[in-house]
Structure 1
Amino acid sequence: MKNRRLIITLLISCILLCCTAQAVTLRITVVDEETYDAVSGASVYVDGDYVGSTSSSGTYSYVHSEDDDLYLKIVRTGYRNWMGYVDYDATRARVEMIREDEILTFELYDAGTLQPISGAVVDVEGDDYSDSEVTGRDGSAEFSVRSGESYDVEISASGYYDLSKTVEMENSARVVQYWLFSNDLLAVQVQDSETSEPIEGAEVFVDNARAGATDADGRLQLHLERAERYSIKVTAADYQTYLENRYFETDDVLLQVDLVKSAYPVSITAFNEAKNPIEGAEVYLNGMFQGKTNEYGRLVFSDLHGGTYQIVVKAPGYGDWSETYLITGAGEDIVAQLGYDRASVTIRAKDPDNNPVAGAAVVIDGQVIGTTDGLGCLNTPLVTNKVYAVTAACEGYRNISVNAEIPLGTTEFTVPLVMEQDFDIWMLAAGVGVVAALLLAVVMIVRRRRAARNRGKSRGRDSL
């Protein structure tokens, strides 16, 4: 039995040795036809079947035991497919792949008008490559170039600055877009000299002729020949006029204009509800403290710049006054009328024994405010710096009226009302009458009982 197993093992070993002796390893090397650089990631097909891909060194090893020639196919994006036969006993195969042509498209646009530029000359230079095209009506030009290579591009067009670029082609078609700047284009940027904020709607004049108005970004594009002198004027509402005679060099592309705001005399006067001036009122412009009003309730600005301001006036004992004003001219007198602060006023009704009077109706200056609660209190807000006529009425109590003055600046105030009980004389007489009747009834009952006792005693004596 052991001999039989040994014989089988020897036979299997012989078969494996024979097969190993017939196996062939084919080393495939894939390179670029022009640069001879290794091409990695190339797909390898043998007799139509995918077997693997090349490594980073551009190689792939294929082990086989075929006795017929191999049909080899190499596929790589950006290259033309390579196909050919390799001898069955070959151990090396070198494949040189040819790059596939791709379309490189240029699209040119005017940087100012955003319109396509036709008639521009585009020159493309590369290794063993040179070509030139003119853009059509759509501003485009196409070139057939090799993928994976670098190209130098020169673009020129009448009335525009020349443009130089370098384009790297990948393994697919590519579209590149460029702006061309007019060589007579001049941009005007108008802004506030203090805040640097753009000024929209500023009027620009060139040699006394209106050239246009700035946009929301404070910009306006002009077309001026260079190496010339021009008179530039810029105007805007509430700003001082900008005027300059300037010579523009060929390299000048931007004119920055800083406008200074115009200054106007402005006064702010604070009054109270009684039309009396408020001295010492604080004035704020856009959140910044500017000063206090004088004895006439006035604060004067001799040179306030034109523009929009948030004006706030504050004074002790008064509510804040706030308004937004557009300062556009001289001699403005702004009037701020401040209302008095309101105090939380408590009307407290009680009797002479200091007990609360609930349900008392409260009238202030002829207007019913409400009734007192279980604690004899009623709370209401009232304007300060004023005298009020306060009246309270409640059944069983005499009406009471007082004058209460709420001092300026007071936040809480209490008006005490002492209400005396009201005794009705008829009700008192009726009460006395009821008591007298009760006493009379008691006397009559007592007398009847005594008379009954006396009669009982008399019958007793008679029976004896």
Structure 2
Amino acid sequence: QGTNLLITVRDSSDNTTIPQATVFVNGANFAITNNNGQATLTHAGTEDQLIRVAMSGYDNWEKTVAKNVTNLYANLTRKTLTLKVNLVDSDTLEPVSLAKVNISAVNITEGKFTDAAGAAIFSVKANYYYTIDIAATNYQPQSTMVNIGTENKDVTYQLLSSQRFSVIVKDNDTQQPVSGAVVKIDGTQAGTTDSRGILSTPISRGKTYVFEITAPGYGVVSETRAITDADAIYIVEISKAAIGAFVYVFDERKAPLNGADVYFNGSLTGTTNEYGRSNFPSLISGVYLVEVRKSGFVPVSRTIVVSGQPEDHTFDLPFENAALSVFVQDRDQKNVPNATVLINGQNKGITDDRGQLVTRVKFNTPLNITVSKGGYASATVTEEVVQGNATASVNVILDKNLDLGLFMIIGAGIIVIILIFVAIRKIGGRKHRHVLRRDEI
């Protein structure tokens, strides 16, 4: 008949069961303990069994169990590890010696002084939470907790001077630290905040001080505060000061645009007056995306930076385009295809079979439209497409050129006829005079 051996693995300090412990039987990996910290071994019952238990953070446990034993408790002892506590001055980062360091855990209390290197070394148990209490002359006391885990632990703590006082400056809107803020205490500059928005300075407790904080782009904050022994931090929230900006809007011809809408970061903020100007006095320092819109013009946007003092920002709006149809005919009102169309000197193309060319032109811009084609005299008209007329049209009439070849032939024929007529007259005159002379004889 076989034997069932129930193995229970426990922590020797408090007898709590340990799950996930590895059980070896006669040198072979046998099982992992369940959530109750147990594993069951069934064997023939003819021989004693060598049981070994291993668990991270504990010393190995080993025992030879008699062949007829049915219950076994393996009480594991936590490993002894090293905890090294290092203390440094928070301002200078130099070691703090002769500071009293006390550590405590369940049924454990121990205290030591730091050495010349600012260190105190303790023997501790694995998988324990220890409370660390620190006391040092001229420094603020400190208390913390550390989890030892399964390996040696090395921790460092910065001690604050008992006279040390920190001013933390934040942006009131974003809660982000404000670096470079100037802190004055009773009218004397104590320093400027670092990248974390912090200025640390020694200050005597039990007194009342006037704090003044200034920063570029922010309003001045002044406050009277009584500093007690319990005060270590003063948090100041400062708001950005209104700087303002002016926006000027013109068209392509540098004429001021009245009624142009100005958007800051997507929100309609103002409209220009008859001088093309809009004032925004409440703007605080920062970066803004400004867009200017007006009907009949192409919107323009760009980023501006507001800082220091109000500045002028100019926007030039191009005219919007309109469709312009150019119709070309002759005097007989017949369409003229393949005629070349120039607008303000730029070739826009040729007319189609219907004598039409459609092109894009800008609103409110004088247009000189010149049309030319072989066999016709060039013609020029002036047009201007006003805002709101998105589909304008213009008619151009071409006069046909005279046929010089035909004109020359006709002219030559006339000259020949005249010459013949003159010759006939001359011949006729001679014959008449000769007859008269014979009659006289």
TM-score by length of 2: 0.73
The correspondence for 2:352, drawn from 353, 362, 374, is 374
- CA separation in 1, counterparts of 2:265 and 2:150? 60
On the 8 A contact 2:243/2:307 being kept in 1, the answer is no
CA RMSD of aligned residues (A): 4.1
Q: Rate the CA distance shift 1:112–1:317 in 2: closer, same or farther, 3 A.
A: farther
On the 8 A contact 1:343/1:384 being kept in 2, the answer is yes
SS at match of 1:238: coil
The correspondence for 1:63, drawn from 22, 43, 55, is 43
Q: Rate the CA distance shift 1:377–1:175 in 2: closer, same or farther, 3 A.
A: farther
Offset, 1:395: 0.6
On the 8 A contact 2:95/2:116 being kept in 1, the answer is yes
Structure 2 spans left out of the alignment, 5+ residues: 413-441
The correspondence for 1:228, drawn from 199, 207, 225, is 207
- Is it true that 1:261 corresponds to 2:241 in the alignment? yes
1:328 matched residue in structure 2: 308
1:75 matched residue in structure 2: 53
Q: Rate the CA distance shift 1:286–1:214 in 2: closer, same or farther, 3 A.
A: farther
On the 8 A contact 1:273/1:338 being kept in 2, the answer is yes
Q: Rate the CA distance shift 1:349–1:233 in 2: closer, same or farther, 3 A.
A: same
On the 8 A contact 1:234/1:242 being kept in 2, the answer is yes
User: 1:164-203 to 2 correspondence within 5 Å?
Assistant: 164-167=143-146, 169-175=148-154, 180-193=159-172, 196=175, 198-203=177-182
User: 1:219-368 to 2 correspondence within 5 Å?
Assistant: 219-252=198-231, 253-263=233-243, 267-300=246-279, 305=284, 308-322=287-301, 324-326=304-306, 328-329=308-309, 336-352=315-331, 355-365=334-344, 367-368=345-346
On the 8 A contact 1:227/1:250 being kept in 2, the answer is yes
- CA separation in 1, counterparts of 2:281 and 2:18? 81
- CA separation in 1, counterparts of 2:401 and 2:152? 108
Question: Which amino acid is 2:386 matched to?
Answer: P
SS at match of 1:329: coil
- Is it true that 1:91 corresponds to 2:87 in the alignment? no
- CA separation in 2, counterparts of 1:238 and 1:347? 57
On the 8 A contact 2:219/2:238 being kept in 1, the answer is no
User: 1:115-154 to 2 correspondence within 5 Å?
Assistant: 115=93, 117-119=95-97, 120-135=99-114, 140-154=119-133
Q: Rate the CA distance shift 1:32–1:294 in 2: closer, same or farther, 3 A.
A: closer
User: 1:10-21 to 2 correspondence within 5 Å?
Assistant: 20=1
- CA separation in 1, counterparts of 2:6 and 2:382? 117
State the identity as a percent: 25
SS at match of 2:384: strand
Residues 89-148 of structure 1: CA distance to partner in whole angstroms, max 9, x if unpaired?
A: x43575554514321424456695594754343212345533223445665543222335
Residues 410-464 of structure 1: CA distance to partner in whole angstroms, max 9, x if unpaired?
A: 434323222233340423675999xxxxxxxxxxxxxxxxxxxxxxxxxxxxxxx
1:43 matched residue in structure 2: 23
Structure 1 spans left out of the alignment, 5+ residues: 1-19, 434-464
On the 8 A contact 1:287/1:310 being kept in 2, the answer is yes
- CA separation in 1, counterparts of 2:395 and 2:89? 82
The correspondence for 1:205, drawn from 181, 184, 193, is 184
Q: Rate the CA distance shift 1:74–1:389 in 2: closer, same or farther, 3 A.
A: closer
Offset, 1:231: 3.0
On the 8 A contact 2:22/2:53 being kept in 1, the answer is yes
2:79 matched residue in structure 1: 101
Which one has the bigger helix percentage? 1
Q: Rate the CA distance shift 1:423–1:214 in 2: closer, same or farther, 3 A.
A: same
On the 8 A contact 1:283/1:311 being kept in 2, the answer is yes
- CA separation in 2, counterparts of 1:325 and 1:146? 60
Q: Report the number of matched residues.
A: 406
1:424 matched residue in structure 2: 403
- CA separation in 1, counterparts of 2:110 and 2:155? 17
2:420 matched residue in structure 1: none
Query: Which shifted more, 342-351 or 179-188?
Result: 179-188
- CA separation in 1, counterparts of 2:173 and 2:45? 87
Offset, 1:187: 3.5
On the 8 A contact 2:218/2:238 being kept in 1, the answer is no
Q: Rate the CA distance shift 1:319–1:73 in 2: closer, same or farther, 3 A.
A: closer
Q: Rate the CA distance shift 1:413–1:215 in 2: closer, same or farther, 3 A.
A: farther
The correspondence for 1:161, drawn from 140, 146, 154, is 140
SS at match of 2:399: coil
- CA separation in 1, counterparts of 2:277 and 2:5? 103
Query: Which shifted more, 101-110 or 244-253?
Result: 101-110
1:448 matched residue in structure 2: none
- CA separation in 1, counterparts of 2:106 and 2:70? 31
Offset, 1:399: 1.6
2:366 matched residue in structure 1: 387
- CA separation in 2, counterparts of 1:49 and 1:173? 30
- CA separation in 1, counterparts of 2:37 and 2:313? 85
SS at match of 2:376: coil
Offset, 1:234: 2.0
* Larger of the two Rg values belongs to structure: 1
2:435 matched residue in structure 1: none
On the 8 A contact 1:108/1:180 being kept in 2, the answer is no
Q: Rate the CA distance shift 1:196–1:178 in 2: closer, same or farther, 3 A.
A: closer
On the 8 A contact 1:73/1:81 being kept in 2, the answer is no
